Amino acid sequence: MNSLAEKREVKKNKDVKMPASKMVMIFIVATGVFISLYFYLPDTFSHSAKIMTAIVCFGVILWALEPIPLGLTSLIVLVLMLLFKVAETDMIFSGFSSPAIYLIVGGMMLAKAVNETPLARRITYKVLKKWGNHSKGLLGSILLIMQLQAFFIPATAVRTTLMLPISTMIIKTVDARPGSNLRKMILLGIAFGGNISGTAVMTAAIGNILTVELLDSYANIKITYFQWFFYTFPLWLILIPAIWFLLLKVFPLTKKEQSFPMIKNEMEVKLKELGSISGQEFRCILILIFIVILWSTEPLHGLHPSIPAIIGVILMTLPGIGCAQWANVVKINYNTVLLTSVTLSMGYTLIDSGAANTISEYLSLDWVLSFVKNPLLAVIFIAILTQLFHKLISNVSTAVVTLVPIVISIAANANVDPMILGFTAGLTSLYGFILVVETMPNLLVHSSGMIDQKDFLKPGLYATIVSTVAIIIMACTWWRWIGLV
């Protein structure tokens, strides 16, 4: 890499603080939207519904533009809900006591514990050694690694974080220069691979967990770990090769960029440095297998997925049994915990305040109700609506907890089962490919400083179309065959 390019990358990698004037302007806009909604929403909205709608929009603007950290915005939204008394205090705090939050916290701690061992790196090096000596195999290896991690490492953000140092090593090894198609293909392989990696494994994405929680709480629909996998694994099998093929076509490579014999040698060196598999890694593997077995057999024992996650954390940190130090495992990202807890509380309160029901009544036009009464048309309508909605609501958690309650209310107005509507909305929310802010994998890859927002646009548009069409195909085939539609 030439020195000028290195200087540019170093400059891009530095944390750039938002100018104070821009921060103030964003807060003025968010506050203006809050005041406007409160005073100008029609009288069909109750007082609590007006306030709650205003708070949601205020929070969404701050989460989308991020003038302050996501966790700090979450606390502001929480305080606003409490000060304006949009619901009972217990209801507003209920997101923090949800089993879904303990599953997320447990999942993040599990990921920390796994990262205390060389296991994830060993698997990555082995896969790259076998298939990474050609551009097609390299991209396929990146996508495959992301999917394998989904079974054992909950949260797309954690999996992406683990892969970023690997991607940096690959980029240096194959000399993928700044702005080259090869570099874009590698980085978007991680971002897009991370987005689709949450498809079939319920615990692999926060959006899945929130969708299951909301359907259970407000529609009395319980979806187990095994059921989620059963409903979605054909979609997963479609998306993996589809994204692989798409990225290869969007980023054509020169002949020189297609072969990397040095990858095999580099991976052999890395594996030699790791040495043979240790007792620490072996214990980690056994505990992970035990957790996955508990998750997949939920119908037999009835344990909420959060319980196996917590059991796993205990086993991985117990002296003499585990594979990690408690002091390191407990250092998790509380921005994510606060964001998820508050957005879940927001979803609950959106329904409890009557805001979700009032909004759904405005959306319950005759043609909308006729659409949702037909299961196949309902899937098409909700998938497209969710993709459009997701462009306005930046992160997956906020999109899910804002849209799923409204969709449940629309289903109630149409007098249809809310299962397929809520499930489709939650699942489609995972697939944000166009904008950096839509998903954590996009955001983390972009934050590396090695890729720009404009690089997401064309492949992201194609990936959005592919994922939406794939969901519709699933509804017409697999979901109809198994009776889900």
Residue 269 and residue 311: Cα distance in Å, rounded? 36
Instruction: Report whether pLDDT(11) > 50.
Output: no
Q: Tell me, what DSSP letter sits at residue 256?
A: G
Diameter over CA atoms, the chain: 70
Question: Which tens digits make up the pLDDT trace of 324-351?
Answer: 999 999 988 788 788 888 888 888 888 8
Asked if residue 184 belongs to a domain, the reply is: yes
Residue 410 burial (C-beta neighbours within 10 Å; 0-12, 13-18, 19+): buried
Nearest to 352 by CA among 388, 405, 306: 405
Number of domains in the chain: 1
Asked if residue 376 belongs to a domain, the reply is: no
Instruction: Report whether pLDDT(7) > 50.
Output: no
Q: What confidence score (pLDDT) does residue 393 get?
A: 67
Asked if residue 163 belongs to a domain, the reply is: yes
Asked if residue 292 belongs to a domain, the reply is: yes
Q: What confidence score (pLDDT) does residue 12 get?
A: 41
By three-state DSSP, how is residue 437 classified? Answer: helix
Instruction: Report whether pLDDT(254) > 70.
Output: yes
Place of tokens 């302007």: 25
Q: What confidence score (pLDDT) does residue 453 get?
A: 82
Range of the domain at 143: 99-205+225-329
Instruction: Report whether pLDDT(291) > 70.
Output: yes
Nearest to 423 by CA among 237, 154, 243, 207: 207
What token pair was written down for 172? 């240096």
Question: Which tens digits make up the pLDDT trace of 434-457?
Answer: 888 788 888 888 878 888 888 998
Question: Which tens digits make up the pLDDT trace of 80-121?
Answer: 999 999 889 998 998 898 888 888 888 888 888 888 888 888
Across the chain, mean pLDDT equals: 86
Asked if residue 195 belongs to a domain, the reply is: yes
Instruction: Report whether pLDDT(14) > 50.
Output: no
Residue 184's CB is within 10 A of a number of other CB atoms, namely 21
Residue 316 and residue 73: Cα distance in Å, rounded? 33
Q: What confidence score (pLDDT) does residue 6 get?
A: 37
Residue 256 burial (C-beta neighbours within 10 Å; 0-12, 13-18, 19+): exposed
Q: Is 206 left (phi over 0), alpha (psi -120 to 50) or beta?
A: alpha
Of residues 197 and 399, more confidence is placed in 197
Asked if residue 422 belongs to a domain, the reply is: no
Least confident of 135-139, 160-164, 475-479: 160-164
Asked if residue 229 belongs to a domain, the reply is: yes
Question: Which tens digits make up the pLDDT trace of 25-50?
Answer: 999 999 999 999 999 888 888 899 89
Asked if residue 256 belongs to a domain, the reply is: yes
